[in-house]
Chain A
């Protein structure tokens, strides 16, 4: 290892591990000891990454408070520091981490809210595509045997055993303190950015299973069958209309044909 590589290695380890010794080649300058000065880097690294997460999960911050959120985010940063300088990609594992973070257990829906917020962030930065207009359903093509749908690249589905969309809406609304009356049932969310604005909608029964199947490459008929197994009340025509109206469909392909 070169001297520079060795120095950076010891420096990086000391930044990441608060219990580590300050790397020895530092010299005292002006009024500060090396450990005081080195602390600036430790603080910058952790604070900036916790700030990134707090900015990315604002509703989770509101649900548990800034202090709790930052303490939790700090543990995440220690366990899963970023692996890329593109911090837009950082935090994809945060919801799973929250789900397994024991101190957050009293807020059991927190992980699902974090999933919804990550989906919002991912949709915001996803590739652009022009959604199909509602008139696309006036043709018989969508219902032809073997038809397949291409979903919008920004589309995300979040399934939850909690009323996650309602919780997210109530918490995202600033300053309203009237007691929230939450639905008893879980909600599945469709998160999508058809053009410039990200939209969050509740999916009807079977809608999430339908979208998962479509994304997996299933034909419309097979996806509808899967959705029917998931929820016997699944309504293909209503789901299809709702998806097109949401801007969720960018193409309908029939074998050998293109709509």
Chain B
């Protein structure tokens, strides 16, 4: 195959991992058999240096997914045009096979809050989010995937379920969905609903990617578990079970292991990816 970014090479329905600076050398030296890598777009918005040098080398060897964390698609105000332009520049430079962002907001009055903040699911929010997704897809010249959030609070004015809200966004904008299985698990525990029922109702035919991450356990007011989506450890066993359950509906999908805090040695992260590959293989043989 010719050298240079492998444009338009689709992400295979295999496991991938988030690319971390700590692992650049391990990856290039050991050339692990892994399906793909995902980057947080904002970490590659510097002008040059090792991040771009290593990403270029990784991109020559593996398919890439670009995952934005700072666009604030659910922000009530207009999208940050400078930020959109920065995303466009990354898409042009690295030709990622996927681009995804979150159903959340993170900026207000020019202050960036660095967290994925929750939205009320109303007609007004729906119109705002759809306008923003249209703008993103137009600017980037491609379909994007929208990720279901982890939330800790609920709004009195919410008028529809999250899944109904996501379905309507897909219908209006033509975007795809990124199903974060850990987020479903965390929300189900925190809001007291059935995680498998959420997965059952999720529009499986629009899922382009799955995320799996670790969560922390904190204590709620009544002493029960309050789960925090912290991406700081292994994927929990019940989340693996929910993942297998989701895959049975969606079929094999590109699956990302997210481990962004207390990043472990490469071999530990790679082992998590191999575990996801094994679940995908199990889904395939069950379907055969």
Contacts and interface: CB of A to CB of B under 8 A. Distances in A.
Contacts of A88: 42-43, 45-46
Given A11-B117, A86-B45, A32 B220 contact: yes
Contact of A128 (B49, B109, B114, B222): B49
A29 B86 CA distance: 38
Interface residues of A, number: 49
Contact of B222 (A3, A4, A16, A31): A31
B125 A4 contact: yes
B238 interface: no
A16 B120 contact: no
Contacts of A127: 47-48
B48 A32 contact: no
B165 interface: no
A85 B115 contact: no
Interface string B90-111: 0000000000000001111111
Contacts of A31: 192, 220-224, 226
B80 A25 contact: no
Interface stretch (A37-45, A91-99, A177-185): A37-45
Contact of A25 (B52, B69, B106, B155): B155
Interface string B209-249: 00000000010111110101000000000000000000000
A87 B83 CA distance: 12
Interface residues of B, number: 58
A257 interface: no
Contacts of B125: 4
B128 A36 contact: no
Interface in A2-16: 2-5, 7-9, 11-12, 15-16
Contacts of A41: 115, 117, 152-153
A196 interface: yes
> A37, A45, A81 — which one has the most chain B CB atoms within 10 A of its CB?
A37
Q: Which 6 A-B pairs have CB atoms at the shortest separation, nearest pair first?
A: A85-B70, A125-B46, A5-B76, A30-B192, A12-B108, A128-B48
Given A7-B76, A16-B111, A26-B154, 17 more contacts: A7-B157, A11-B117, A26-B153, A27-B155, A31-B224, A37-B153, A40-B152, A82-B111, A82-B114, A85-B70, A87-B114, A88-B42, A123-B49, A125-B47, A128-B47, A128-B49, A154-B48
Interface of A: 2-5, 7-9, 11-12, 15-16, 25-27, 29-34, 36-38, 40-41, 44-45, 48-49, 51-52, 81-88, 123-128, 153-154, 193, 196
